[in-house]
A and B are shown apart, each in its own frame.
Chain A
Amino acid sequence: MNYIVQAKELSCFYGMVLGLNNVSFNIGPGITGLVGPNGAGKSTLIKLMTGQIKPSSGELLVFGQKPWNNPQILSQIGYCPEHEYVHKEMLPLDWLRSLAMLSGIPFGKAQSISREVLKTVKLSEQHWKKKIGSYSKGMRQRVKLAQAILHEPELIILDEPMNGLDPMGRQEIGNILKDLKNSGIHVIISSHILHELESLCNDFVMLNWGRALASGRQSKIRKEIKNWSEQIAIRTNQPQQLAQHLINLDTLKGYLVEGEELIIWLKQPETFYQKWPEYLADCDAEVYDVQNKSQTLTSLFERIAQ
């Protein structure tokens, strides 16, 4: 597998303050999520990947090279920062044109590319004549994303791009990122809101307190966890009876009844899913809803963080 980013025993300290502590992981192609709560080290890692700071120790490679003071690598990266700060007095086209030229795009071409990317991020033309300082948060996020894709980078790194966006805005940004992925661009995206990334990312790097807890596909991370048991919530008219039925079939590690909801921990999930219709047919209980609670990224992160 070709790795886009490789970290080996990577640490970064701001004086006495811990940013990252001895983390090792690899990031492959596609969309990868950096997840973890505030202060986990996501932004530090992003600053390292975009060559804004140097590691205190260890090694970080992007496309096989160290990013600090490396124009070759920076020319392949598009970066969208977490903060909202932009050159407020500028019109979006002027701002993008200057950044395009800074990325080596000729003056004549910079204007047309700037227009194209504003269309790509779906910023409607009626807003192009307004100063960026007057934009709403969602509109600024779009312009920030536009500047990251101006120079057609191979890798886009986004720090909390969904922050402050309404659900529709989040979905639209998510769709744009999926389109970028489909056009062959790799994306690394950070968020402390885990469910945002669930439908978007194929791989994850989970960080907490400056440490990498796990990395890779969700399924792979689950397999690596000892004593992992899947948890399912079933809404039924007879939770106690259904629980007893499943216990008798020796399928459960344990269960919990909360009103109409039965929460069960499975012994062998694959067998359970295969035989679930049979189990139901043998029982009189009516089932209204079934939810796999442990398939969520949040539950996985909570489990690993323990």
Chain B
Amino acid sequence: MTTTLTESTAEQRPIAGLKQAILGIGYLRIKEMLSSKSLLAVFGVSMLLILITFITVASGNAGQFQIWMFHLFALRFVPLMCLERAGGSLRNEIKDYTIEYLWTRSPKKSHLVIAEYISSVIVTSFRVFIFTTLIHATGWYLETPDILPMFGKILIIELFAILAYSALAMLIGLLTGKYMILGVIYGLIVEVGISQVPLNLNKISVSHHLATIMGGPSSLAYTHPGASPIMGALGCIVIAAIGLSVACILFSNKQYRTGNDKEG
């Protein structure tokens, strides 16, 4: 008699869940982050940022330091770091064929996305913390006033920036292999607000919410001076949740072909 191995006859095994996915992917990414190649890159960027701080900030000028730290580093450099890190996390695995070792295991694909997101947030936060500390140390050396309160505030803003931008980057990375180009276009239109965006789309941008958390006078044209920082933080969290949810749905249902950008 011919039978099939059905659910009842095949051994029922424990299935790895979200916790196992986070542990597995987290361990992989942290080990990669601690590789000599990666640490060398962090060292190189650190030196570059210190140099830029020396060039752009005059001794004792808090205004110049804030423009460099918040408007350039937190609002421009950190999003690019998120785009490179989170956008490339799963996409580069797909391009390099190594995704086959990950998605043929038992965690759900949505769990892989969440695990990669958390790993990206941790890795990017670690790097951003190093860079921010070094830039502030340089600012302290240049005798910038009120450097310590600004350090704490910037770290909080950067954390929300990383949470929101990493989720958006993850989504963009799963949409296309050319995620850096699409991410920069998105950034120029929505975040920077180049040209008149229809329906004032940039009012819901992450930059807008970060500026709201920052508070005080800002050169960003689309901030609401009276808005609460808590609303800004909530806005970032909502954007992160939406971006991550859509990324999970996309990765679970789309058929990706490894090694190239053609997808069915």
Give A contacts to B, CB under 8 Å.
1-4, 6, 14-15, 26, 50-54, 61, 63-65, 69, 71-72, 74-77, 79, 81, 83, 85-87, 89-91, 94-95, 97-104, 107, 147, 151, 154
A87 to B35 alpha-carbon distance, docked (Å): 12
Of A14, A61, A154, which one neighbours B264 at CB under 8 angstroms? A14
Q: Can you list 20 A-B contacts (CB < 8 A)?
A: A51-B103, A53-B255, A63-B10, A69-B108, A72-B13, A72-B106, A75-B16, A79-B100, A83-B259, A87-B98, A89-B35, A90-B35, A94-B27, A94-B31, A95-B28, A99-B102, A101-B23, A104-B16, A104-B20, A147-B101
A303 to B229 alpha-carbon distance, docked (Å): 76
A264 to B173 alpha-carbon distance, docked (Å): 63
Instruction: List residues of chain A with CB within 8 A of the CB of B55.
Output: none
Chain A nearest Cβ from B140, distance in angstroms? 35
Considering only residues 128-153 of chain B, those with a C-beta below 8 Å from chain A are: none
Check B177 for interface membership: any CB of A closer than 8 A: no
Check B199 for interface membership: any CB of A closer than 8 A: no
Instruction: List residues of chain A with CB within 8 A of the CB of B98.
Output: 85-87
Majority SS of interface residues in chain B? loop
Chain A nearest Cβ from B101, distance in angstroms? 6
Question: Are B257 and A75 touching (Cβ within 8 A)?
Answer: no
Considering only residues 149-190 of chain B, those with a C-beta below 8 Å from chain A are: none
Please give the number of chain B residues whose Cβ is less than 8 angstroms from any Cβ of chain A in the complex. Answer: 47
Instruction: Please name the residue on chain B nearest to A65 by beta carbon.
Output: B7
A81 to B98 alpha-carbon distance, docked (Å): 9
Question: Are B9 and A99 touching (Cβ within 8 A)?
Answer: no
Task: Output the residue of A54, A101, A107 with the most chain B CB within 10 A.
Answer: A101
Of B12, B37, B100, B107, which one neighbours A89 at CB under 8 angstroms? B37
Question: Are A64 and B255 touching (Cβ within 8 A)?
Answer: no
Question: Are A98 and B4 touching (Cβ within 8 A)?
Answer: no
Question: Are B24 and A64 touching (Cβ within 8 A)?
Answer: no
A90 to B5 alpha-carbon distance, docked (Å): 38
What 0/1 readout, one digit per residue, does chain B (102-138) give for beta carbons within 8 Å of chain A?
Answer: 1111111100000000000000000000000000000
Instruction: List residues of chain A with CB within 8 A of the CB of B101.
Output: 81, 86-87, 99, 147
Q: A63-B10, A75-B16 are in contact. Are A103 and B106 (CB under 8 A)?
A: yes
Question: Are A98 and B108 touching (Cβ within 8 A)?
Answer: no
Give B contacts to A, CB under 8 Å.
2-7, 9-17, 20-21, 23-25, 27-28, 31-32, 35, 37-38, 96-98, 100-109, 252, 255, 257-259, 262, 264
Chain B nearest Cβ from A279, distance in angstroms? 42
Instruction: List residues of chain A with CB within 8 A of the CB of B96.
Output: 85
Instruction: Please name the residue on chain A nearest to B110 by beta carbon.
Output: A69
Instruction: List residues of chain B with CB within 8 A of the CB of A15.
Output: 262, 264
Task: Output the residue of A53, A61, A98 with the most chain B CB within 10 A.
Answer: A98
A76 to B106 alpha-carbon distance, docked (Å): 8
Instruction: List residues of chain A with CB within 8 A of the CB of B103.
Output: 51-52
Task: Output the residue of A1, A64, A107 with the most chain B CB within 10 A.
Answer: A64
Instruction: List residues of chain B with CB within 8 A of the CB of A104.
Output: 14-17, 20, 106
A109 to B255 alpha-carbon distance, docked (Å): 33
Instruction: List residues of chain B with CB within 8 A of the CB of A107.
Output: 23
Q: A14-B264, A98-B24, A101-B20 are in contact. Are A76 and B32 (CB under 8 A)?
A: no
Instruction: List residues of chain A with CB within 8 A of the CB of B14.
Output: 75, 104
Question: Are A75 and B31 touching (Cβ within 8 A)?
Answer: no
Instruction: List residues of chain B with CB within 8 A of the CB of A14.
Output: 257, 262, 264
Chain B nearest Cβ from A96, distance in angstroms? 10
Instruction: List residues of chain B with CB within 8 A of the CB of A79.
Output: 100, 104
Question: Are B32 and A90 touching (Cβ within 8 A)?
Answer: yes
A192 to B259 alpha-carbon distance, docked (Å): 21
A101 to B31 alpha-carbon distance, docked (Å): 14
A-B residue pairs, 4 tightest by C-beta? A102-B24, A104-B16, A64-B6, A75-B106
A69 to B253 alpha-carbon distance, docked (Å): 9
Instruction: Please name the residue on chain A nearest to B93 by beta carbon.
Output: A87
Instruction: List residues of chain B with CB within 8 A of the CB of A61.
Output: 4
Instruction: Please name the residue on chain A nearest to B1 by beta carbon.
Output: A1
Question: Are A102 and B32 touching (Cβ within 8 A)?
Answer: no
Q: A79-B100, A81-B97, A97-B27 are in contact. Are A102 and B16 (CB under 8 A)?
A: yes
Instruction: Please name the residue on chain A nearest to B115 by beta carbon.
Output: A102
Question: Are A64 and B4 touching (Cβ within 8 A)?
Answer: yes
Of A3, A6, A74, which one neighbours B106 at CB under 8 angstroms? A74
Instruction: List residues of chain B with CB within 8 A of the CB of A50.
Output: 100, 104
Question: Are B252 and A69 touching (Cβ within 8 A)?
Answer: yes
A75 to B14 alpha-carbon distance, docked (Å): 8
Question: Are A87 and B104 touching (Cβ within 8 A)?
Answer: no
Q: A3-B4, A53-B264 are in contact. Are A99 and B105 (CB under 8 A)?
A: yes
Instruction: List residues of chain B with CB within 8 A of the CB of A64.
Output: 4-7, 9-10
Question: Are A51 and B15 touching (Cβ within 8 A)?
Answer: no
A120 to B174 alpha-carbon distance, docked (Å): 37
Q: A77-B104, A103-B16 are in contact. Are A2 and B5 (CB under 8 A)?
A: yes
Question: Are B28 and A90 touching (Cβ within 8 A)?
Answer: yes
